[in-house]
Amino acid sequence: RIRSRGTAFDRGENEDGVACVGAPIFDSSGMVVASVSISGPIFRMEEEVMKKYSDLLKKVVSRISSALGHGS
């Protein structure tokens, strides 16, 4: 599910009271070499906000991955 969506969500599973959206960065060979995430307090990271950040992260990691040669 995470692979098909392109982002991972964490709502307090790792750190109580903290929510996070993360996405992988790929190199030219298609390997994950890094990731980017956005974190905040759960009370500010409602489902709609998490979706918005997910969409933004996908754009950002796509640009970074392209700069590293992914998809060339």
Half-sphere exposure at residue 71, Cβ-oriented, CA atoms within 13 angstroms: 9
Rg (CA), the chain: 13
The count of structural domains within the chain is: 1
Residue 11 lies in a domain: yes
Global pTM value? 0.85
- Is 61 inside any structural domain? yes
Q: 31 lies in a domain?
A: yes
Average per-residue pLDDT for the chain: 93
Task: Identify the CATH number of the domain in which residue 48 sits.
Answer: 3.30.450.40
Is residue 48 over pLDDT 80? yes
At residue 9, the 3 state secondary structure works out as: strand
Classify residue 48 by burial, with Cβ atoms within 10 Å: 0-12, 13-18, 19+: exposed
